[in-house]
Amino acid sequence: MRRGPVTLLVVAALGLAAWWLLVRPRPTDEERIYRLVADAARAVEMRNPSGVLRLVSESYHDPYGNSKRTLTQQVIAGLRSIDAITVVPEIASLEIQGDVATALVRARVRFGDATEGRGVDLQVRLQLAREGRVWRVTSSDGWAPAVDSYLGE
């Protein structure tokens, strides 16, 4: 006897959930790219290579001659060698044209203790492309000074 109201309640809940999925506000491209930069900084601070590399396109190539494969090796080795790192990014400019975007990211990077470690200020230029619903980095330039700073060069 109680099946009718329970079934009606379940159907109503499923209908409400489906309606919400269809009408909820979707993030803008700008919001998605800002989130990508924040996710990258968080993954670096957590020393999580897979968190960094999931944001990089399979078609990645940069001015340093890296493909995604060589970048993967560098990210894994680099994050393993660091005890602690703090990254504070700020998007200085962002241009989106269809399915491609360019972002200039200024970042303060500190190695070791956030107050006493070595640090460097970077200006990283990111080239991004929309791959399906996701934005990924297809090229980046300007991060080499962080490597030099860490190595003490």
**Residue 145 pLDDT more than 70?**
yes
**Residue 1 pLDDT more than 50?**
no
**pLDDT bracket for residue 152 (50, 70, 90):** low
**Does residue 17 lie within any of the structural domains?**
no
**Does residue 15 lie within any of the structural domains?**
no
The closest of 40, 59, 60 to 51, measured between CA atoms, is 40
Q: Domain tally for the chain?
A: 1
The closest of 107, 54, 116 to 84, measured between CA atoms, is 116
If you write DSSP's letter for every residue of 107-119 in order, what string do you get? EEEEESSTTTSEE
**Does residue 22 lie within any of the structural domains?**
no
CA distance 56 to 79: 16
**Residue 134 pLDDT more than 70?**
yes
Task: Look up the pTM and report it.
Answer: 0.79
**Does residue 108 lie within any of the structural domains?**
yes
149 in Cβ contact with 120 (< 8 Å): yes
CB-neighbour burial class of residue 128 (10 A; exposed 0-12, middle 13-18, buried 19+): buried
Identify the CATH number of the domain in which residue 126 sits: 3.10.450.50
**Does residue 4 lie within any of the structural domains?**
no
pLDDT of residue 115: 62
Which range marks the domain in which residue 87 is found? 27-151
**Does residue 10 lie within any of the structural domains?**
no
pLDDT of residue 103: 97
Q: What tens digit of pLDDT does each residue of 25-81 get?
A: 788 999 999 999 999 999 999 999 999 999 999 999 999 999 999 999 999 998 998
